């Protein structure tokens, strides 16, 4: 049985995943305006991935006989002073999402909801990768700086993400 409490919490996580996609699209738009097409590509791919995460939760709620209910999504920031500031925000956001997933897991554990615990294990593993990717890009930005050939090489590398 899928409790109303957990159904509501998973619906909240759907909103959080959709916000993540919205946030990364806003960041991509700024990168596109700066003619940093590789950074924009990486962020657009990330946004699509976040939408995929939302859909995994959406399907899970439906598979459990629950009802998906959408709430308003907050407007994301639309301007960052630098790429480093932007990717610091990416990294912090991924850490926040990790905390939200962990909290949801604890709720499922407290209610002995084994199907939700199993479902969340994929997201727990995914968040390790998400944080790693964000921290690596941030570290590279700190090394290369935000101008010159290092930045262009990083932009080109990020443009290869599928």
Of the CA atoms within 13 Å of residue 8, those in its CB half-sphere come to 3
Helix (H, G, I), strand (E, B) or coil at 123: helix
pLDDT computed for residue 6 by the predictor: 98
Decide if pLDDT at 1 tops 90.
Answer: no
Q: What percent of the chain has pLDDT over 70?
A: 100
Number of domains in the chain: 1
pLDDT computed for residue 78 by the predictor: 94
pLDDT grade for 44, boundaries at 50, 70 and 90: very high
> CATH number for the domain including 146?
1.20.1260.10
Q: Is 114 exposed, middle or buried (0-12, 13-18, 19+ CB in 10 A)?
A: exposed
The average pLDDT across 126-141 equals 97
Q: What is the pLDDT of residues 49-105, one digit of tens each?
A: 999 999 999 999 999 999 999 999 999 999 999 999 999 999 999 999 999 999 999
The helix (H) or strand (E) run that includes residue 82 is: none
The average pLDDT across 125-141 equals 97
Q: 0.75 cut: is pTM over it? A: yes
Domain with 112, as residue range(s), is 4-158
């Amino acid at each position: 049985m899928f409790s109303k409490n957990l159904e509501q919490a998973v619906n909240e996580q759907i909103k959080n995943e959709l916000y993540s996609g919205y946030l990364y699209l806003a960041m991509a738009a700024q990168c596109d305006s700066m003619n940093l097409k590789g950074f924009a590509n990486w962020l657009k791919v990330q946004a699509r991935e976040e939408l995929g995460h939302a859909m995994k939760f959406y399907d899970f709620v439906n598979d459990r006989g629950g009802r998906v209910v959408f709430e308003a999504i907050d407007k994301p920031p639309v301007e960052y002073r630098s790429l480093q500031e932007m990717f610091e925000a990416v990294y912090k956001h991924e850490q926040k999402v990790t905390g939200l997933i962990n909290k949801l897991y604890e709720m499922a554990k407290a209610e002995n909801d084994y199907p939700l615990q199993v479902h969340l294990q994929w997201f727990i593993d995914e968040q390790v990768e998400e944080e790693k990717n964000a921290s690596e890009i941030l570290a590279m930005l700190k090394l290369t700086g935000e101008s010159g050939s290092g930045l262009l090489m990083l932009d080109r590398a990020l443009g290869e993400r599928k």
